[in-house]
Structure 1
């Protein structure tokens, strides 16, 4: 993630302008080429150099033959999960209402920032039908329940919502159009270069790539020719991954799940540093599995996997390598998959301690993540980066519009398993936030997590020394403000804790060694915890 300086804005906007105009330029040149070929006796007049001409004609063909039909194909309606029962809906609605700190913002942002005067009762009902029924309309017998929820929101707001329908429009991700932008062949060439760098880097650092079957090679674009040389095959149909063998007998291996972007490239240094031994006395290497999620990695491929399919495939991979327990680490969108793993009876028993970096799954009923990613009009350089290279990507846009169901993806503190019976001190969870995050309201989520968080056992002198070492490694700039002392609270390695980086934006914690270091130390401490069973 880049910053907000003027020079960064100019450079980024220039890059977006270039990439965005490749398609119209190639279409215009192809039209002129065709006209000159049909009408001119000398079709070589006004011709560009042959390599550039081949590129532009290829771009035009790719846009018309691949992108346009694929974009129409992606507009198919979402297959929503089974609707909740009335009791389950009421429980979910009540839970959400309890955790709304700013009711006016809550309503207005789900209605795309509409003015209060433009929001009337039917607008709010439209949002409620989508949020709690996954539908544009509900049966007549459910309308009374919808009305009850509107009354509950009125109590939350402290005012009445006028009858009628205003000009406000509700943000309904799974019902709205899949809003994506064309990606050129040139862009996919850049992705291939980055992919090659990632492949070579991870291979050099001791990871083995596990590919899907050779028959699935053509199902991913841009193609990955280097994967053909791998002698390791994934035990599942869809997921590919990088694996570092686990040889330690006293520590837990690590499962890492990345976020939206360009795959594992932003995490190569992080994985390399995790790959080093933990110091003297280690009895072997800590194994690492880094899952690749191609639908959110700037690729054209299969749709994002359904929740249950993803859980089963990860479970199969874990069992394939003989892991009975593991430490779970994820970033951003990876926290959604972590949510499913933590909730599933298939995988939850195998999860030891957890590190969630820039998670988006807490308080997902609040509009911040959906609005900031899918609806906000970008102004600053970092917002344009998130908008063009993130939310407008074909795979990402489809994933969020047709495969992202907030009520399934949300995780509450109670779901973290902080008192798992088979663990002597309960499961330990550390959540990492940046104070300048443009996607998540980290202040609100952080306060939610820390309030009445699980209190661990009496802190030992060793734990205090370890906490001091980790805390002093965190980037400077933290200031303890009234009511925000939780941001500077020492990390003690017990229960639910937060690491707060005041000056960092979403994803920036991976960019510098000094900001990665405290997270890596936390993970290494977490891998030392063993089950008592």
Structure 2
């Protein structure tokens, strides 16, 4: 077996990466100045009070003291919020049947021998991974080798041979029950049986039995159970974001006559076309843009402005997510909508706007008002970026008939069961300046950390090829990936899509970074706008 392990890519040591010059530049010029505001404020307030020099300050000195005191109080408030979310995840596991189905589908992914060149043929002869039986693979079967290599990502990329059964059961207990794993014998018999069955399927897929025992050096990544990773930032940071997003809301209202609305707790921006002749029955399909993690409108304002300029003949709807926009003063900052609430609110809003057919009654039963033969189908063109692809996936799963066209830009919903997303964004040590920027200014922010590390639902967030209507029709579905994406393994996502027949519908930039396709002037940006304009 040792000779076999030496040839196994899942046994290659994952060596620590060396920090680049850009890491230190970003640390010294961006991270350190923002981080240091809080301790400097504490030191200044303490010195001013203990030395009684506060009463000797001029007006600008007292103004500086007032700001520092504000930072001190805010840091205590921020600390209390961090303590509040440091406990266990507030949400229990999803439906057991749904979880078992998702787990089985994740094991089936990559089992079928599908050509990776793609065909873009809707309804072509492609069996798809979900039709494959999970059989015991040989140890050196390429499918087993590949599975072991990406599966070890959930264990910090340690050599596969170091992983033991206790740690695998701990990972299975988290992924199925969102609960820690004490021991197999301490669990109820039905849970033991489910975990044993999952272990058996996993071993078949890996092509090898996992040794008994435990190895603490191969502890799994348990995203919603592990200690939450939050870095403080000053009050002035959050104030800048709140003011900036508020100003941009007003700018969109004045510049584009957009309206700011709220539907059952879902805030949104709606720009209707300036021409009064548009109607959902005859006009171009409305566009719904779902943004990702970051700074909200501050981050996406340029793209939204260019989108409204390039496509003035149809409505543009932008749902706003305060938990993903660092809007700490919003009442739902630490209470993000779950998949059901988010999908239902967005679906209800689309119905209220009369953009979609009422295919389901409130009790979930289907109605008889499907589009008739020859009638133009209603629905929206949904564009999602990064974390927004989760909301995109939720609506596709709950109300697929509402989405006429789909555009995924830097999607994180595909292959998320493989662990790269969680590892890269939460657990990986930064080595470059871009990684440090994303980690400190986004990933370690309180609201983002709360969403990812306490509200993450991997089965709901995973989107499968079979869940996308017209996935192989490049005029109906488009995917944008960057080969240098620091968040997801774009090559693996590309392989997953092309193996299911996507070719013309995939825009892959080998040198593209995460978010680069939205930057003005780039080829990806131009292609997004061209694709959105090409169909009515």
* Fold agreement, TM-score > 0.5: yes
Aligned to 1:14: 29
Instruction: Name the CA distance, whole Å, in 1 between partners of 2:159 and 2:63.
Output: 53
**Which of residues 315, 320, 331 is equivalent to 1:292?**
320
More displaced 10-residue stretch of structure 1: 200-209 or 317-326: 200-209
Asked if 1:374 corresponds to 2:426, the answer is yes
- Where 1:170 maps in the other structure, the secondary structure is coil
Look up the match of 1:129.
173
For residues 439 and 86 of structure 2, the distance between their equivalents in structure 1, rounded to whole angstroms, comes to: 20
Aligned: 1:274 with 2:282 = no
Counterpart-to-counterpart distance in 2, 1:376 and 1:244: 43
Alignment of 1:399-478 (within 5 A): 399-418=451-470, 428-453=476-501
Deviations 1:363-407 (A, max 9, x none): 211100011111111110111011001110111000112221001
Shift of 1:426: 10
| Greater mean alpha carbon deviation, residues 90-99 or residues 384-393 | 90-99
* Contact 2:310–2:529 (Cα < 8 Å) also in 1: no
Aligned equivalents of 1:365, 1:357: Cα separation in 2: 19
DSSP 3-state at the match of 2:309: coil
1:319 to 2:351 alignment: yes
Deviations 1:288-344 (A, max 9, x none): 011111111012131111222112221232233221221111101110001111111
Q: Find the partner of 2:411 among 359, 379, 382.
A: 359
Q: 2: CA distance between counterparts of 1:267 and 1:314?
A: 20
Correspondence list, 1:122-271, <5 A: 122-137=166-181, 138-167=187-216, 168-192=218-242, 194-195=244-245, 198-199=248-249, 201-210=251-260, 233-245=261-273, 247-248=277-278, 249-271=282-304
1:509: which partner in 2? 517
Cα deviation code 1:432-484 (max 9, x no counterpart) = 10110011111111111121327xxxxxxxxxxxxxxxxxxxxxxxxxxxxxx
Stretches of structure 2 lacking an aligned partner (at least 5 in a row)? 1-18, 111-142, 182-186, 357-378
Structure 1 residue runs without a partner (length 5+)? 211-232, 279-283, 455-485, 492-496, 529-533
81, 96, 100: which one pairs with 2:106?
A: 96
Secondary structure, aligned partner of 1:159: coil
User: Once superposed, what is the RMSD of the aligned Cα atoms?
Assistant: 2.8
Task: Measure the CA separation in 1 of the matches of 2:252 and 2:396.
Answer: 27
User: For 1:158-200, what per-residue CA distance to the aligned partner results, in whole angstroms no more than 9, with x for missing partners?
Assistant: 3332211111222111222232121211212332453256335
Distance in 1, Cα, partners of 2:200 & 2:93: 26
CA pair 112-328 structure 1, distance change in 2 beyond 3 A:
same
Distance in 1, Cα, partners of 2:419 & 2:345: 30
CA distance in 2, matches of 1:143, 1:519: 49
Q: 2:337 maps to which residue?
A: 305
Q: Which has the higher contact order (CA 8 A, sep 6+)?
A: 2
| Equivalent pair of 1:340/1:409 in contact (CA under 8 Å) | yes
CA-to-aligned-CA distance 1:226-264 (integer Å, 9 cap, x gap)? xxxxxxx42332423243347433311101100000002
1:50 is aligned to 62
**Counterpart-to-counterpart distance in 1, 2:254 and 2:510:** 34
Which residue of the partner structure matches residue 114 of structure 1?
158
C-alpha separation between the residues in 2 aligned to 1:382 and 1:185? 24
Matches for 1:513-528 after TM superposition, within 5 Å: 513-515=521-523, 516-526=525-535, 528=536
Instruction: Give the 3 Å change call, closer, same or farther, for CA 333–419 of structure 1 in structure 2.
Output: closer
Query: 1:45 Cα deviation (Å)?
Result: 8.5
Aligned counterparts of 2:272 and 2:433: Cα–Cα separation in 1: 36
Change (3 A) 1:309 1:18: same
Tell whether the 8 Å contact from 1:277 to 1:286 is kept in structure 2 after alignment.
no
Rounded to whole Å, the distance in 2 between the matches of 1:192 and 1:183 is 14
CA distance in 2 between partners of 1:61 and 1:427 (Å): 54
TM-score computed with the length of structure 2 as normaliser: 0.77
Does the Cα contact within 8 Å between 1:419 and 1:427 map onto a contact in 2? no
SS at match of 1:234: strand
The verdict on how the C-alpha distance between 1:276 and 1:48 changes in structure 2, with shifts beyond 3 A counting, is: closer
1:353 deviates by 0.7
